[in-house]
Amino acid sequence: MNKKPILMIMIVSILLVLGGCGSSSDGDKSEMKAAIQMEAEDKGYSNAKWPFFEEDWHFEKQSDGNYTSHGTFKSDGKKHEFSAEVDPASDVILDFYAD
């Protein structure tokens, strides 16, 4: 019996599990971004479109473990600046402001 395929499957599985654990421990930015988008829509900014480049959208980890986010988005063709604070463990928006 050839052990190489079994060994390769085990290594790939371990890497996938370790990779998944590492990304969730530091806050999943795509989930936080989705939470901010839903909050913006709840505040009346319909069809919010987020910029592609990280320069226009970023997260900063705070000493309390929460993340603040600042950037821009477009809603119905108008550009808006926003700031938000997110709890990465629950993706709850603690603070949100957009102009």
Does the pLDDT value for residue 26 go beyond 60? Answer: no
Higher pLDDT, 6 or 82: 82
Tens digit of pLDDT for each residue in 1-14? 566 666 566 666 66
Residues counted in the chain: 99
Q: How far is CA 2 from CA 5, 7, 8, 9, 19, in A?
A: 7, 10, 11, 13, 27
Query: pLDDT value at position 1?
Result: 56
Q: Determine the average pLDDT of the residues in 66-84.
A: 87
Q: Please report, for the chain, the start and end positions of each structural domain, with discontinuous segments joined by +.
A: 28-98
Please provide the average confidence, as pLDDT, over all residues in the chain. 77
Asked whether the beta carbons of 98 and 76 are under 8 A apart, the reply is no
